[in-house]
Structure 1
């Protein structure tokens, strides 16, 4: 049985993303389901990497629909990617995950009553344990967005492991090899995309 080492529910990975002026965190399901902890760390956006984990962040003062569940905005913007922690994900899912994270950071909400959460703030990327799926996605993001600081995917993973307080004895699965390989393929695809079809939106300095 694999030994799991203690770590905080939430870890600050990057205190200020250049050009965006928000902090990037990684956490587990405990952090993602703790509104007080999210508010304490200035989190306005939550990105769930896990397919086997659902968290209800909808405002409980909203009445449910007839014969249905409560729906509507919550106290945090919420995005779900839905990856398996290991084999089984199409490689394209990691590619999509990168663009979802990037879009969540850059999305501008319209000034309408139906979009009450317009304030930009810090971002939490999480999965169940905050040690594999979320680590992979954030490492891919840092490598592609901050290549001068993280010239390789491995260097980004090393930084995330350190900040997330992942013990060396668990590095063989933090992240899982299948997820790291998917991130490696996604990084190559995105770099090729930028070379073949440069686009102002894609190539903007972060």
Structure 2
């Protein structure tokens, strides 16, 4: 246990150094850390709960799907933004909204991180729908918002893992993808995010399921 503690402290110091090296090598600087939402890449935005609740702003950014990765957060939208009928058991929000809840600390299973990545992949992938479902949501999805409370920890983690697995030619390892997303969210030099236990688990997932044997899962077309 003592070894693990010292190892993690050493790892965090190395990550802080990598932040500086990465920002110089790639010419990246922190975006505005007060921004509620930022574009990352590949139709993915990352933001906070305020961004998720602002349906007008989402519309302006052509965001037609939202993925909530905070287990202790639900967004209350005005009734006017729902469509369908309760009587017909068919009332839903007028944009796609999905949730895979992560704890910002300990308490997550590795499979939950993977489930969140797969959900993001589903939202970004056009669905082959039956006729009865074709008018439910806009298809294909234009852009996706991944959010949590602050948009600095859980959402950054999932976006980084997803980019690592789907853009292995751009990001040689998970750490590069993480630093890239952090730079876009304006928290590149903040060593406290993502939350250390969550960050450690994400690194373990990335080191266990390498892109060479896991990326194909995003390419399946059964």
Aligned counterpart in structure 2 of residue 105 of structure 1, from 124, 142, 148: 124
- TM-score, with length taken from structure 1: 0.78
Alignment of 1:19-34 (within 5 A): 23-34=43-54
**Deviations along 1:178-198, whole A, 9 cap, x unmatched?**
112222222234328827xx9
Q: Is 1:152 aligned with 2:173?
A: yes
Corresponding position of 1:48? 68
Q: Is 1:77 aligned with 2:69?
A: no
Question: 1:142 Cα shift?
Answer: 1.0
Q: Distance in 1 between matches of 2:47 and 2:193?
A: 13
2:82 and 2:91 in contact (8 A); partners too: no
Question: 1:105 Cα shift?
Answer: 1.4
- TM-score, with length taken from structure 2: 0.73
2:95 and 2:138 in contact (8 A); partners too: no
Corresponding position of 1:20? none
Question: 1:109 Cα shift?
Answer: 4.8
More helix by share: 2
**Deviations along 1:138-176, whole A, 9 cap, x unmatched?**
1111111111211111111111111111162xx222111
In terms of Rg, which structure is larger?
A: 2
Q: Distance in 2 between matches of 1:103 and 1:185?
A: 23
Q: Distance in 2 between matches of 1:166 and 1:202?
A: 28
2:166 and 2:218 in contact (8 A); partners too: no
2:36 and 2:50 in contact (8 A); partners too: yes
1:110 and 1:118 in contact (8 A); partners too: no
Question: 1:203 Cα shift?
Answer: 4.7
Q: Distance in 1 between matches of 2:174 and 2:212?
A: 17
2:48 and 2:148 in contact (8 A); partners too: yes
Can you give the 5+ residue segments of structure 1 that lack an aligned partner in the other structure? 18-22
**Aligned to 1:12, what secondary structure does the other structure show?**
strand
**Across the two proteins, how many residue pairs are aligned to each other?**
185
Corresponding position of 2:163? 142
Q: Distance in 2 between matches of 1:111 and 1:203?
A: 22
